[in-house]
Amino acid sequence: MTPYLLTAALSYLSGSIPFGYLLVRIFRGEDIRRSGSGNIGATNVSRKSPALGMATLVLDALKGFVPVAMALSVGRRSVDPPYVLAATAAFFAILGHIFPVWLKFRGGKGVATGLGSWVGLAPKGVLVMVIVFVVMVAVFRYISLGSITAAAIFPAAARLLHDYHDRPPVLGFMAASSLLIIVKHHPNIRRLLARTENKFRQAHR
């Protein structure tokens, strides 16, 4: 098995660990998929428990960060340069979160895992993404709008800041990751257009 196939497989399995589902099942004895939006991500979990929501956020980010860090470390010994291998890890970790094999391929929206996946490879692009997210949520009060806008701007920010290591495949994986996250938000996009999406304050009442 080539380093790329092995990295893709292991990163997918890491990303597919459904931490939000597991935490709520273990500590609350409930199925988070039957509550709120039905999503297994941190935002929906936080509606059940802010502490579990924060734990989900951290763990979902870590399950993206770890495969990328490992790909960078191992890749330096087997692939020169290792950036495309690490980008492969990032994309497949996000893919695993969105389509986890353990939950019949019905997972989260990939935002936290995307953040963790790309922060070690494109920190300047991720910083721009976080700033855009914070500003959009502060101004419009929609977490989904902040997530969609941040995901959309990430590849462009990485390109403009030369934060993709001058490797077109890395930029391609960034764009594919952003597209996955945006597509996964399609119910939110419909609600935003219909003006029925819950605002941040409403979601936490």
pLDDT tens for each residue of 138-156: 999 999 999 999 999 999 9
pLDDT tens sequence across 188-199 = 999 999 999 988
pTM for this one?
0.94
**Using CA atoms, how far apart are residues 127 and 115, in angstroms rounded to an integer?**
9
**Using CA atoms, how far apart are residues 13 and 1, in angstroms rounded to an integer?**
16
Q: According to the model, what pLDDT value does residue 1 have? A: 60
Q: Structure tokens of 140?
A: 């419009």
**Using CA atoms, how far apart are residues 18 and 105, in angstroms rounded to an integer?**
11
Q: Which of 14, 15, 183 is nearest to 94 (CA)?
A: 15
pLDDT tens sequence across 38-87 = 999 999 999 999 999 999 999 999 999 999 999 999 887 777 789 999 99
Instruction: Report whether 8 contacts 90 (CB < 8 A).
Output: no
pLDDT of 201 > 80? The answer is no
Average pLDDT, whole number, for the chain? Answer: 94
